[in-house]
Amino acid sequence: MEGASTAPALYAASVSASQVFGAAPEDVKKLKHHLKDGKGFRNPWDSYIEMNAFKMLRAFLWRRLTGKSNIPDTTPPTVPVRPPQFLGVRDAKSPLRATWLGHACYYVEFPGGFRALFDPVFTSRCSPFSWLGPKRYTEMPCNIADIPTVDAVMISHSHYDHLSHPTVMEINKRHPNCHFFVPLGNKKWFEECGIHSVTELDWWESRDISLTPSEQKVESQTGSAEGSDIKATISCLPCQHTSARTPFDRNHTLWASWAVESAGKKVWFGGDTGYRGVPELPADVDDYDPKLNLPHCPAFKEIGKLRGPFDLGLIPIGAYQPRWFMSSMHANPFDSVNIFVDTKCRRGLGMHWGTWVLTEEDVLEPPRLLKKALEAKGIAPEGVFDVCEIGESREFAD
C-alpha cells in the first residue's frame, strides 16, 4: 500500500478512436449478432442453444422438487481469502500484475501505470435486493476504498453478478476520473445513474484512452510512471452469453469480452461466456465424446487469430452444472482450457467461481476439474493456467 508521500497522482482521461484499427472478421459489417428490428442482440452461432426464462425457471424448480439438484455445501473452509496488496504508485518497472477480488472481478496493474478493474461487484448479494438473492459464502477481500487507483472499468454485461449499481456509484464517487467501458446498449443505464464518463462499444471496436497528469504535483519514487502520460487501447470482443436486469429486457443490451493493451502487455478478459451447447445427456456420457461432435463457438479462435496472442487471459471456469442447462452461457473447465488455447493466451487465471452459489457443482470442483482439463490437453497443470486465492496477486514478468 502507498505511503503518505507517494499517494497516486490525479490523471485526466481522454478517450478517442483507436489509432491502430484492430483486425476483424471479414463479415464484421453484417452485424450478425444484432437483431433485425434493432431492439436487441443474439448469439449468431450453432454453439448456442436458446433457453427462455420460463423454461429455465421451470427446469430449476423441477430439479429441486424431484431431488435431482445438488445443493453445494458452503461450510467453511472453502476458498481462502486474503487482504490484497496493491502497488501504491504507478511503477513503470513493475511486471504485469493481476489481483483476483472474487467471482469475475480482477484488478490489473500494467507496467506503464495503467490500472484496470473488470466486472467489480462489492456487495454481499448479487441481486437487485439487499435482502434477497445469492449471498457471498466467501468474504470480500477488500472495499473499493482500499483500491488506490482505478483508471478504467470494463463491464462484460448487465447481469447482477457483473454489474452492481452500489459498486459503480462508489467507484464513481471515489475515482471521479475513472472511465467506464461497456457493450452496446449499456450506456443509458450509466447515464441514468448520473455517470457520463462512459463509452459503449460493439464487438471488434476499439478505443484509445490517454491519461494526462493534473496540475497537482506529488512526490514519486525512482522508476515511477507518476507525472507521465499513460496510454492504453481498450477493445470490445465477442463472447457467448446473454443479458438482462429485469424479466422484460432479456438481450436488450450486448455482452462482451474485453482486451486491454498498455505498455506492450495485452490482457484478455473473458467476461461471462459459454463455449458449446450441450444437450441433456445420460450422467455417464462425456459431453466431449468425439461421437457427439458438438459445435463450439468460433469467436474465440477469431479473437486469438486477429487480436492475440495475449500475455494473460482471465477466463471463467465456474457456474456450469447442469450442463444441458448452463453450457450455452457458462464454460466448464474443459471448455475454459479450449478457450485459453483458442484465444492464444500465454498464461491464464481462472475466475467466475468461489463467491456465490449460482449453479449446482460443488464449490471447490472448478479448480479440480481445471487440472484434469489441462492434463487432458497436454498442458502443465500448474503455472500456465492457474487459480489463486481471493485477494491474491500474481505477477507476469515474461
Report the binding-site residues: 160, 330
pLDDT at 4 over 70: no
Q: Look at residue 297 in the predicted model and tell me its pLDDT.
A: 98
Digit-coded pLDDT (tens) for 41-71: 999 999 999 887 777 778 778 888 888 889 9
| Phi, then psi, of 303 in degrees rounded to 5 | -60, -45
Give CA–CA dist 151/69, Å, rounded: 42
The answer to whether 288 touches 320, Cβ cutoff 8 Å, is no
Q: Look at residue 220 in the predicted model and tell me its pLDDT.
A: 37
Read off the C-alpha cell for 96.
504485469
Residues 255-259, mean pLDDT to the nearest whole number: 98
Q: Which residue has the cell 436487441?
A: 40
Q: Which residues pair with 208 in a beta bridge?
A: 16, 233
Residues in the chain, overall count: 398
Question: At residue 146, what is the residue type?
Answer: D
CA proximity to 311, closest of 394, 376, 240:
394
Give CA–CA dist 380/378, Å, rounded: 7
The answer to whether 117 touches 35, Cβ cutoff 8 Å, is no
Q: Look at residue 246 in the predicted model and tell me its pLDDT.
A: 93
Digit-coded pLDDT (tens) for 118-127: 999 999 999 9
Mean pLDDT is lowest, of 135-149, 186-200, 225-239, 281-295, for 225-239
Which range scores top for mean pLDDT: 84-98, 211-225, 325-339? 325-339
The CA–CA distances, whole Å, from 174 to 144, 146, 216, 378 equal 8, 10, 17, 45
Q: CATH class for domain 80-211+227-396?
A: alpha beta
Digit-coded pLDDT (tens) for 81-96: 999 999 978 877 889 9
Specify the pTM.
0.93
pLDDT at 157 over 80: yes
pLDDT band at 5 (very low <50, low <70, confident <90, very high): very low
Digit-coded pLDDT (tens) for 274-299: 999 999 999 899 999 999 999 999 99
